[in-house]
Copies of this chain bind each other. A is one copy, B any other.
Amino acid sequence: MTAVIFPRLALIGIGLIGGSIALASRRAGAAGHIAVSTRTPETLRRAEALALGDSFHLDPAEAVKDADCVIVSVPVGASGAVAEAIGPFLKAGAIVSDVGSVKHSVVRQMAPFIPAGVHFVPAHPVAGTEQSGPEAGFAELFDNRWCILTPPPETDREAVATLAAFWGALGANVETMSPEHHDLVLAITSHVPHLIAYNIVGTAAHLEEVTQSEVMKFSAGGFRDFTRIAASDPTMWRDVFLHNKDAVLEMLGRFNEDLTALQRAIRYGEGDKLFELFTRTRAIRRGIVAAGQETATADFGRRPGAIPGSPPATPKKGS
């Protein structure tokens, strides 16, 4: 147990990320009272049933009252509206943060509504699963993952250090960079991968020559990995692409350029070029495993029956 960092923590939005912050805070003892607010009565009821907080509010203004830290975990397109709603009710000296996958847009949307004397420290924990909603949260989500803080240069240093300590208590490693650099890094490590995963699943879904049943049956050849990513929350991801347009289009341009070169190598039978790339990419994976960001287990340890929730082995035929 760490010392309590925030006697009162307000969570605005209580899906996969908000819910996991609640559970990880409890695990670490990093927060005292947790006030939870979300937009719909139904989600609020579910969060209450899961005991994700100590008080539950449909009105975010009520949740942030007296809070030492407010973390906004909503689709990035809703950041500005939330900031506007809570701005007048924030306590002097409070820290306001978020978890958005895009930072430049969030800063632009929220900053105008943060009153003087309140510390705005945007953040992005790079962690998640393809599931969404309060039930999807779990206390270990941030363990050994990275949380990126993007405070404007003039931000109070102590507020940044306090939020960094909070994320450390939740299990995360913390790094600081500018919102612009964040958006470029995430465009290639997260946004474009999601876009091409959504895209190939879409392409496969409306072929005439190959049935959907065939796509599903024979998905173990690689396709199924893409469907995990393409099962992520549609609202969240729509907002990511709309709000990180420039960096996504820039990285997508490079992806396309490289893909065109590969396509050409296939057309002209240039096996050496393919082999050279396919060898180089292995090194990147080794680096990711070494960095503790991935399991080295073959096929994600997805042998039938090997992990909870995996499909059982089929009864042997002819036995």
Contact = CB atoms under 8 A, between A and B. Distances in A.
A223 B291 contact: no
Contacts of A113: none
B274 A314 contact: no
A267 B209 CA distance: 31
A216 interface: yes
A116 interface: no
Contacts of A305: 140
Contact of A207 (B127, B188, B271, B278): B188
B284 A199 contact: no
Given A2-B318, A238-B278, A299-B129, A193 B200 contact: yes
Interface in A113-172: 126-131, 136, 138, 140-141, 143-146, 148, 165, 168-169, 171
Given A238-B271, A262-B198, A254 B301 contact: no
A235 interface: yes
A221 to B, nearest CB: 3
Given A126-B220, A203-B258, A302 B295 contact: yes
Between A173, A237, A275, A291, the greatest number of chain B beta carbons within 10 A of the residue's beta carbon is seen for A291
A36 to B, nearest CB: 21
A173 B311 CA distance: 14
A229 B234 contact: no
B288 A227 contact: yes
A59 interface: no
B222 A190 contact: yes
A184 B37 CA distance: 50
Interface residues of A, number: 137
B318 A281 contact: no
Nearest to A180: B209
A144 B314 CA distance: 5
A262 B194 contact: no
A255 B223 CA distance: 13
Interface in A181-232: 181, 184-186, 188-205, 207, 209-210, 212, 214-232
A51 interface: no
Interface stretch (A6-14, A39-47, A89-97, A241-249): A241-249
A72 B181 CA distance: 50
B282 A234 contact: yes
Interface of A: 1-3, 5, 28, 101, 126-131, 136, 138, 140-141, 143-146, 148, 165, 168-169, 171, 173, 175, 181, 184-186, 188-205, 207, 209-210, 212, 214-232, 234-235, 237-239, 241-242, 245, 248-249, 251-252, 254-256, 258-259, 262-263, 266-267, 269, 271, 274-275, 277-282, 284-288, 290-314, 316-319
The 8 closest A-B pairs by CB, nearest first: A190-B221, A168-B317, A234-B278, A297-B309, A129-B298, A295-B310, A227-B285, A193-B222
Given A140-B303, A189-B218, A189-B223, 14 more contacts: A184-B210, A190-B218, A193-B223, A198-B281, A200-B255, A202-B281, A203-B255, A217-B291, A228-B299, A230-B284, A231-B286, A234-B274, A249-B263, A294-B311
